[in-house]
Structure 1
Amino acid sequence: MNASVLAAPASQATRLSGGLGSFRADAGQLTVELPLPAIEGAADLGALMSLAGGAGAVDGVVLWFRYAAIYRVLDIRLRTVADVTEFGRVCDPYAQVSASFGVVANVGAFAADSFLDRAVACIERIPATGLLMRDGLLSPAAFARAVLETSLVEDPDVLAVIDAELSYRLRGMGGLSVSRVSKTAHAVVAEFDPDAARAARAAAKAGKRVVLAPLTFELSELTVTASAEDNALSVEIINALIAGVCARDPRTKDQRRSDAVTARIHGTAFTCRCESDECEAELSDGAVAARCASIVLHVVCRRETLNGDADTPAYLDGFGPISAEHVRDVAERDDTVVRDLDLNALAEATHQASAPHRPTATCDAAVRGLFGQCTTPGCDRPAWKCDLDHVVEFNHTEPAAGGATCPCNLNPKCRHHHLIKTHCEGWVDEQFTDAAGVVWTEITTPEGITVRQQALNNWLLPEIGQMACRHGAPVEPGEADPADEPRRPETRLAAKHRYRRQMRSANRRVREAREAASDAYWGEPSF
């Protein structure tokens, strides 16, 4: 049996034991033993991983009850005071409750006020979204982002609609990372309260600034606050500049970025630090300009939004949803190129005629726009910085026996997670479209834990999930070959792909059985 042991001073001898471990305190030493179960199979690994990965949900449940408790205290204080203003702005009931909480929780005034603000938001402003935290679906950090995204909505009726829509989307989308919750809340606010979106954008414009703050005795931090698209372009330009140093440059990527920004601001040359006579750096103005010319910042929006006939939000790659007014302003920039995304073209071809493994430009853009970011839960790498992965592996030897190059079988994965899926044992992913046309992805870890989530931008491109694919089910290797020839023994890669096909089939049967049971439970009432 494995155990973690912590030794620390103690004032008396005692012993406590429980389901999570044993705690023994002797004179002068406190020993905490946390036994872990013997590892006998994948089920034990799955249980341990579920415990480790599910802690955020438990924290959210506890936090909801803490919010409910302090909100109850505030409510009683407010109802027992005839005139709230009689205490003045400093000592009103809100300030008193916050001060009491700060003393009990051992936190400062700012932390106490923030906690009380989130409690009011949880119970009073967006209660339906708050219930997701109580039900173990939202982590505290994700809920805090939802509070921030809805903080500028002032109309209570509009806020109630936003709360209902946001909780509905979040409850059904799965994979509620902080990034996905923030982007979903941003999209809902931009769609249902354009005034709040405009107010947020106006506040952002007024908040443009450059701030210098000391960090250490030698370093300080320069923060530039600008529009999302301008900052994104600035980062890409800096990346294009530092890409010209040679492989022997000793600096880290962050150090190169810092030196490049400083050089640009000071008007000096950014140089390679390899100090080698054989330096292969390409940092001339022409080389840097050529790399900058390839920078593209992608924005996906509805045609009716661009024409001004609708106010559906758009999606800025690497940032998230932006308002209709914002995307129309972006479209009017001199350096913007507007291209139509004709989804009807997917009915004609989804892959290049000369390379069945490669999607067409329309298919590529549609898939990246639909998912918005890496489809591995918890990863928010922008879609246009990801690889496009065939969920069911493409068979280069016999394409008819492999996964199709089609939106139903393609999704973006960052290079790290793409390599993990491709080369590590036990990882199985799946992609399917439900009866409502919603596109889902599933990932099963080597411990046997399956996490399912919706495509992030189903709300923006619902047509993709409603398209009928023309390709058939993949055939077994060899069946598509008309020649009756002897076959080679199965390779290791082929065996891995066969294992994944079997796991996907098993996961699909479990999912269908679960959905059938859910439909039976939530079916027509008996009266």
Structure 2
Amino acid sequence: MPATPDAMPHAALERELAAISARESAIRRIHADQYRRVQRARELAAVVEGVTAASTSRERDMATRSFVAELATTLGQHEASASRLVAEAERLTGPRRATLDALAAGELALTQVRSVLELTQDLPAEVADAVERVALDAASDATALGIVSTNADLRRRMRRVRERMHPEPLADRHARAVAERHVCVDPAPDGMAWFGLYVEAERAVAIDARLTVLAAREASGDTRTTAQRAADLAADLLLGGVLADDERTRWGVAGATGAVRPCINVTVPMLTLLGLDDEPAELEGYGPIDRDSALRLAAHAPSLRRILVHPEIGTALSYGRDHYRAPADLDGFVRVRDGRCRFPGCSRRAEYADLDHTVARAHGGETADTNLGALCRHHHRLKHESGWRVVQEEGGVMRWTSPAGHVLRTLPERPFMPVGAGEGVDPPVAQAESFIDDPPIPPDPLDSFEDEWRSLIELYDPVPF
């Protein structure tokens, strides 16, 4: 029977859906194969690191950390993502092998596999097997009977079995989970960020309910939406709230949203600071922020600090081998230059990191900017206790070599260029509880930067300097 014009789109749609389904099955097979290869690579990496049956638990742990770093840099991922991949591969090629087989057969999606791993974590073997069986049965039913089983539906069914069979009371597990509460900030585009609290469910619901009630109060002339009011209220309460037993929250009260008295690092190009340019400033831990926000932060800063990066201003960038611990000016210079931990892919801020001698002092390394780098404690240990090696090149570039022989380089966040004696200098740079870059200054030098700075502060905050 000849195809009618009305039937042709239906047939084409059917073909496209079939092709999408086939490719989804192929993607699931590839994911399963990836897990198997990750586990195999981990076993080979342990051999490269010299792990044997006689190795200590610390040596095994360091070999695993080294492999996680190797995998992260190979895939261009954060180490947290690589660590999860390694942990998932270990369980899927071990006790949860049946789930991996279902993924390879295209019966379970990757999100469902991760739900199985999450809900079988830290369970006795017989309980974990029963929870896994729920997912496997759902996958079989979907294949044989055409029953659609979403990840949300699968999780509900697995949780019911988990709660019914779990040997530990829910109250005890909840008490343990409470210890993991924390705050997180996730940068977003356009000068925004997500702020989250991981707290007890009852507190989260109560917070949401309170904000909803407060935001519902309409004021004349207020054109904000309810959602906008709720967000502003949450920010105002956190920034302006006072604790009766902590005096620090009294002098640090922010008042209205945005009038923050910062104890954070804000790098501001000097021309932006003086209102002569619109080049973005940088909020440490986030990234670029607009000029007006930077000026507000600078105006409300309770104190200033200069970054001494030029010989005529007085920075000492090398203390030879007479000092092991870097003095304050050198310490500050290296941390501002590096910005973050210098291990490939690490985003830990330099202010929370160790200063590491690239060449150990015992091997002739000097306490100098050319031999110092910020490394978080985790990667500091990895450098010393695994097969990772590093060399510092010109301009603060650090060249890393992994145990597998991969060569990777990391760049300083602010590569201050060296200035020789007698060369032209830029005026000193002030900072609002932070460090401020040295951008080029036009040929009209400032006679008194301090006077300009005082004028700027008075412009935005008419409080005596």
- Give TM class, smaller chain: 0.3 to 0.5
TM-score (norm 2): 0.40
Indicate the structure with greater strand content.
Answer: 1
TM-score (norm 1): 0.36
